[in-house]
Copies of this chain bind each other. A is one copy, B any other.
């Protein structure tokens, strides 16, 4: 089973365009009448028949699909997770985190720029493409959002609303619990978590103080010295396993 992605959904007609249409007809060589599955990135999964293909010799293909059946909530988790992670020096490592987080389950990836960050920008389009591929590959119907990079301070100053478990993994001394202990303390039917992972040199003192002031709870990732992307994937994994 292979999934396509489209947000162009009008009643019982879904249109694939751009890379999705291209992949459908030029790579997978689907023809009119074929059955395909399309997800809307918001939990909807559509079983469709290809009704019409526009395939110019050059330029963009367009695929019109007739919806046969719709399922809602396919692969939907019982928690909402925002991963705010500082970019790694080597972007491959951040991309690996984004892919693994998508497979395990994440709703939003926010590249946060710390006072100690060496890299201060990310290629958002590339991350989005990777996250889309991982979503389709792992047969999920919800597409994680890749947000624009934002400074740690601006991120902390956001209004996260009530009932959100806000966690920061930092390396400063002090009383810290594990992620699972924090989840246990929080016990909620409608779990919403924000987890912040710092850069190689850790968050700055100022950032840690602001986080505590803003209600973020410190968490420990244990005694191992983990790379940024390893810490981030381990965090996603821990929240995923705590939910099953």
Contact = CB atoms under 8 A, between A and B. Distances in A.
B238 A222 contact: no
Nearest to A242: B180
A223 B237 contact: no
Interface string A125-143: 0000000000001111000
Interface stretch (A21-29, A31-39, A99-107): A99-107
> A-B pairs with the 5 shortest C-beta distances?
A222-B244, A234-B237, A237-B237, A138-B225, A103-B230
B103 A225 contact: yes
Interface of A: 75, 96, 100, 103-105, 137-140, 178-180, 220, 222-227, 230, 233-234, 237-238, 240-241, 243-244
A141 B96 CA distance: 26
Given A103-B230, A104-B224, A222-B243, 8 more contacts: A103-B224, A138-B224, A138-B226, A139-B225, A179-B241, A223-B244, A234-B241, A237-B238
18 contacts: A96-B96, A100-B230, A100-B233, A103-B225, A103-B226, A104-B234, A105-B224, A138-B224, A138-B227, A139-B225, A140-B224, A178-B241, A220-B244, A222-B240, A222-B244, A223-B244, A237-B238, A238-B238
A178 B244 contact: yes
B138 A241 contact: no
Given A96-B96, A103-B227, A222 B241 contact: yes
A100 B225 CA distance: 11
Contacts of A222: 240-241, 243-244
Contacts of A103: 224-227, 230
Contacts of A243: 222
Contacts of A224: 75, 103-105, 138, 140, 240
Contacts of A230: 100, 103-104
A240 B220 CA distance: 12
Contacts of A105: 224
A115 to B, nearest CB: 23
